[in-house]
Amino acid sequence: MNISVFAKYHVRAQEFDPPLDWEGLFERSGPLVVELGFGSGEFLIQNAIQHPSTNFVGFETSLTCMVKLQKSLSRLGINNVRAVLLDGRFGLKELFRDKTVDAVYVNFPCPWPKEAHKNRRLYSKTFVDTLASVLKDQGSFHLITDVQWYLKDTASLLIESKCFSVKMSEALNKNVVSTRYEKKWLSRGKVIYALAAVKIKSASIKRITWEDKEMPHVHLKNVCEDKVKALRDKVFHEDQESVFVVKNVYSNVDEFLLRVISSDNGFQQCYFVLIQKRGKSYIVKIDPSTIPYRTPTVKKSVFKIAEVIQS
């Protein structure tokens, strides 16, 4: 298999300045359709074949699913699909300009039924506002699920926003998207529910990666090694929406490498911060082996670490 052809489907979005130039990535213009959580990729593959003039973007957090999709696209010679290894909620908000997406699809998302996991559910006011921002006028959002309360809760938020006209099918028993989960639930006699929402009004949202796109670096005259080592497992709460923790500290001659996990309003990233001696001074920066999205918390972590370790 030609690795260069295989890899062309994977968009490493953190390496680009947001929002992304999707027409450039597809090397053509055309309707733009997004699927959040593509799983095994059946929906993207079927629709890409049926609609060759449409550009499809899929988001997924599973590396296994990403590899499986790329192999299938390459084997079938499909060229109108691009995939991003990223939480789709964050990707939809940060990687697309307003009024550029024709349709968004979500097929059988995990409902996260426990109250303790409520913040992991797809639907939220922020998600609805994102849809109302990135969808074109009369663009559409489609949800397929076997969980009725999940469908109704999503519909309620869409209706409350006054940005969508919503229709629901509460006893769907026909083939809809031919995904693995659809076939599984239908074989067990489960009812599948569908929601379709058409955008009738726009909403405005704030993107957290569009401004100040440069990654920070800090120069220090001196560094206290004991203070660096004491950072292990230290948690920094910048505010309610911003937190980061230094999970590990690795040392070598004239440098330290800190493994950091950050969260911006629930969007988590793992990366390394490098503390390196250069001549008679030090530099603190994101290690180039990891390229996180340039969120406020990532930037704050560099400045805060530099502040704490000064001797």
Looking at the structure, do residues 147 and 241 belong to the same domain, yes or no?
A: no
Q: Which token pair is 153?
A: 């809760």
What is the total residue count of the chain?
Answer: 311
- Same-domain pairing of 189 and 249: no
pLDDT beneath 70, residues of the chain: 1-6, 170-189
Report the candidate in 125, 154, 137 with the shortest Cα–Cα distance to residue 202: 137
pLDDT at 179: 61
3-class state of residue 121 by DSSP: coil
Whether 142 and 285 map to the same domain: the answer is no
The DSSP secondary-structure symbol of 27 reads T
Sequential DSSP letters for 122-181: S--HHHHHHHHHHEEEEEEEEEEES-HHHHHHHHHHHHHHTSEEEEEEEEE-S-SS--HH
**Same domain membership, residue 85 and residue 56:** yes
DSSP structural state of residue 39: T
- β-strands 255-264, 267-278: how paired? antiparallel
Nearest residue to 309 via CA among 288, 281, 289:
281
247 and 181 together in one domain: no
Does a structural domain hold residue 206? no
Do 183 and 247 belong together in one domain? no
Q: What is the DSSP letter of 223?
A: B
pTM of the model: 0.90
d(CA 215, CA 30): 33
The closest alpha carbon to 31, from 12, 50, 7, 16, belongs to 50
Q: Are 36 and 182 in the same domain?
A: yes
Q: Choose one of 172, 199, 226: the last residue of a domain.
A: 199
pLDDT at 115: 74
| pLDDT value, residue 184 | 58
Q: How much is the pLDDT for 215? A: 86
Indicate the angle between helix axes 125-134 and 148-161, nearest 10 degrees.
60
CATH code at position 128: 3.40.50.150
Residue 170 has a pLDDT of 61
Do 189 and 253 share a domain, yes or no? no
DSSP 115: G
Whether residues 78 and 166 share a domain: the answer is yes
Give the tens place of pLDDT for each residue, 12-33.
999 999 999 999 999 999 999 9
Which structure tokens are listed for 70?
């790329």
From the list 186, 207, 167, the residue with the least C-alpha distance to 108 is 186
User: Coil, strand, or helix at residue 196?
Assistant: strand
Full domain range(s) for residue 230: 217-309
Q: Which residues pair with 60 in a beta bridge?
A: 85
Contacts of 117 (CB under 8 A, 6+ apart): none
**CB proximity list for 253: less than 8 A, separation 6 or greater:** none
pLDDT at 175: 46
Task: Classify residue 27 as left (phi > 0), alpha (psi -120 to 50) or beta.
Answer: left
What does the pLDDT read at residue 185? Answer: 53
Q: Are 59 and 35 spatial neighbours (Cβ–Cβ below 8 Å)?
A: yes
